[in-house]
Amino acid sequence: MVQLEIFSGDPPCPGCVAIIELAKRVAEQYADQVELTVLVGQECMNKFEAYKLFCVPAAVVNGTVRIEGMCPSEQTLKTALREGGVTL
Amino acid sequence: MIRIEAFVSVPPCSGGVALKRLLKEIEAEFGSQVEIVYHTGPGDKEWEEYAISNAPALVVGDLVKFVGLAPSKESMVSALHEAGLE
């Protein structure tokens, strides 16, 4: 399984709202290949710092930071997942 | 003295980072005329008082001016003028 971690602020910015919605949609599409974890606010700070993230929204695929500070297009998120091993 | 309340999320979003940079500029330029207060994370009661559910947000004077985005410096200065900045 490819691990997709989405980081969101609390309260969320519009980009955080959008990336969570997008990630849920894409993860559902590839449910047999993608395991989605949504990390929000203070509870995600340990991982946020471990990945040396600077700001949210962010998407981490298999432990590698792929997208930070913006909500990507669906195609971009899918490309990041493909780089992580998802067969599209 | 015009009060600026900045609402940012934890962790900070890209707009929150931009907003902090902007407010540093505003403080440098209008430092004696503005008071800047930060509400970081969802804990402060002001989030509910102003019914703000998206970050970043800015209250200037006692009015919500921007929600879910960092304004341009021009817009920020306009908001300050509307609040009484001379």
Question: pLDDT for A25-57, tens place per residue?
Answer: 999 999 999 999 999 999 999 999 999 999 999
Interface TM-score (ipTM) > 0.85: no
- Yes or no, beta carbons of A11 and B14 under 8 Å apart: no
Q: Is the pLDDT of residue A10 over 90?
A: yes
Which one of A7, A8, A10, A13 would you mutate to disrupt binding with B, by most B Cβ within 10 Å of its Cβ?
A13
Q: Which helix (H) or strand (E) holds A66?
A: strand A64-68
In CATH terms, the fold of domain B2-82 is: Glutaredoxin (3.40.30)
| Residue ranges of domains in chain B | 2-82
Nearest to residue B9, comparing CAs of B50, B57, B70, B71?
Answer: B57
Give how far B72 is from chain A: nearest CA, Å: 17
Question: What is the value of pTM for the model shown?
Answer: 0.83
**Looking at beta carbons, which residues of chain B come within 8 Å of A9?**
8-13, 16, 55
Superfamily name and number for A2-83? Glutaredoxin (3.40.30.10)
How far is C-alpha A84 from the chain's CA centre?
12
Q: Is the pLDDT of residue A88 over 90?
A: no
Q: Is the pLDDT of residue A68 over 90?
A: yes
Q: Is the pLDDT of residue B56 over 90?
A: yes
Nearest CA in chain A to B67: A13
- Yes or no, beta carbons of B10 and A57 under 8 Å apart: no
- Yes or no, beta carbons of B11 and A48 under 8 Å apart: yes
Q: What does DSSP say about strands A64-68 and B2-8: parallel, antiparallel, or unpaired?
A: unpaired
**Looking at beta carbons, which residues of chain A come within 8 Å of B41?**
10, 41-42
**Looking at beta carbons, which residues of chain B come within 8 Å of A38?**
none
